[in-house]
Structure 1
Amino acid sequence: MEVMQVLHMNGGDGETSYAKNCSVQDKIISIAKPAIEEAVLGILDDNIPESFGIADMGCSSGPNSFRVISDIMNIIYAKCSNLGRLSPEFRVMLNDLPCNDFNAIFESLPSFFKKLKEEKGSGFGPCFIAGVAGSFYGRVFPRKSLHFVHSSSSLHWLSQVPPALNSSASTALNKGKIYISKSSPQSVLDAYSMQYQNDFSLFLKSRGQEILSGGRMVLSFMGRRTSDPTTEESCYHWELLAHALMSMVSEGLIEEEKVDSFNAPYYAPCPEELKLEVEKEGSFIIDRLEAFEIDWDGGVDEAVNNTLGALSRGQRVAKTIRAVVESMVAHHFGNHILDELFRRYAQMVGDYLSKTQTKYINLVISIIRKG
């Protein structure tokens, strides 16, 4: 599977779209907001530039696409207002893979600009927004063009499935599984860890060339608290999806070889792994690193109920997962299995969550570009 050509959140605003099923990601953005504010103000403490470069990497589409950008601009506007000066102009780069629904983002720009004008008026600097398609595992922007980089719910996606899992050996290394599992051999754990190290190091190196000295990044993504990559908090949502697939195999609806050859391009690191890669790569220093618990369905609140209706927890989780992984599942297994697969998945998730309090672990790291 060519991740760059396949992976994307479900576009549009339909029932299974990411725009309608992003409550977990919305919660993560809320949790990271204090770190974002601290980082942006840290940049402004040294100097308020005439032109402020911002990038959101893994922007996707839907209501979250402009939320962080708007928050960052509000922080800068408030700081400048307190100082009695105009805010800088804003250069905003929205990055995601080429298959992302950029059209939906561009269609929402007029309303975004209208809201800015109504709320901020003439004291707000001009804002220039561009969509930039490409993998963030490599250079995306000009050298020393950015002051602040944000990425949320994206860096747990790898650039590729670890090559060792794509071998043509007659026996699959991770048989009956689609990600790290308690039953996965050590070679599978090692392959995922190595791919993560290579990818995150390349991400840091690339951003190190694009961010100005003293510039900052705030990154949030799925992780784990312990060194054990098989802990349920980091991988059991994949385990249940594998169970749902294998239940269809047992009924002859899917070929077993299809499941054996499907592996998620995903990795949930622990804080120690993050620290090690930042220190090894050397372009940044860590300012802040925290871990937070997130409900699998984002938490049952008014926003969720308005978006998804009165659904069971299992159904809500299945919808949020489907909005994220459908492109990969459909590419590998075909569109015809999707409804039945996620119906089974919803049932299994519901049963599991009725018996346990397992939550996602979200890591938030704030780092500063060295001088």
Structure 2
Amino acid sequence: MFEYEVKEEGATQCILAKGRVDALSVPDLQRLLDRLILNGERVLLVDMTSVIYVSSAGLRVFLAAQKQLTKVGGEIVLFGMNTPVFEIFRMSGLATVFHIADSRDEAQQHLIEKECTGIVSASESIEGVRMEYVEGAREKGTLFVIGSPDKTAGSTYTDRDVVAVEASRMEFGCGFATVGEEYEEYKGLFGESMVVRGSFFFYPAVKHPSVDFLVNAHEDSGTVYRFLHGFGFNGPYRYVISFEGGERPLDLTSLIEGLFAVSNASVFGVVIIAESKGLWGMHLRKVPLMEQKPENGKSIFDGENFSEWVDFPVEPTFTNHAVVATGIAVRDRESASPEVQALMAEESSFHVHGAIFEKTPLSKNIARFDGELSRIFNELQVYKIQHILGRSRFSGGMAAIIELEG
């Protein structure tokens, strides 16, 4: 029989395990570990004092969780094992895979020492949200506008509106774009898109869409993006930030406001890696070309046409999924240039697109921000690219700010 209790040990969750960890109890242990990891726990203490037996099935569950956590800078720390249980770990070759402490105090000391190796230079607590950050280069980046969104509502784009952007010129950005050589080949494949660190993702506005992407596209001098409209920006990270919501998830609007408490810029680009607690987003179902213009002559956003043209769920979606998002934000919309204001919806101070990936624990190690981006882009399945709305909620994550001229 297997029993457990979960208690808080400072900022860490501690599992007090009791009994046999075998094939019969593995489902309960698996559900427990999955729940804690999805809730954002990155370090787990396990009190093994009252565990009398661990089978290979039990070892496998511990090992799977350890692999998940080590990818994002976390770990499972075991303590209080009796000799027979320790021998099971040792004979299986796992005694060196986990940090196994003799006592609770030794386990806590290990966590304290690990915490002291961080590079955090400052922290802020804003409306219950704790933010820790490091500063980077003070050099400001540049923002450039691509095409115009004005023809979207009327669905009047033609081949003359396509703007070619060399991938090597665009480090970050978002818009309505695709790739291809001939207009007749790619004209039906435009969709919500984003560029993050030179990697390009787009979600074609077709009946049965699937995300397509080019990792590190900027390294190929021959790659060209085709935009109907959008924007791009280039520049160094001014700040890299980790953030953690309080008792309630943090919405995107509040996160952007919090980032402006860290940065003094009037406009910045942002890249976000976060765990979703419910996304509000939208994307077009069809490419707004002249040849697809609504027969009734009304806007694609008119009530008669909206559901045919726009995917806009009325409930939040993709809870607990990994999200990578990018876009721009302004401190004061009214003081922004007309060109920048035109990039955002009325009464909004930001424009953000996001890629939704599979459920997975995410690292909050700001020293490895780009490394986490690379891991996500190369290892995780991506489901959708959306325009992300301010009500979207996140449990925590990381963000990089690129301060921009203007």
- The higher-RCO structure (CA 8 Å, 6+ apart) is 1
- Higher relative strand content: 2
**Greater helix share, 1 or 2?**
1
After TM superposition, the score normalised by the length of structure 1 is 0.24
TM normalised by structure 2 equals 0.22
Larger Rg: 2
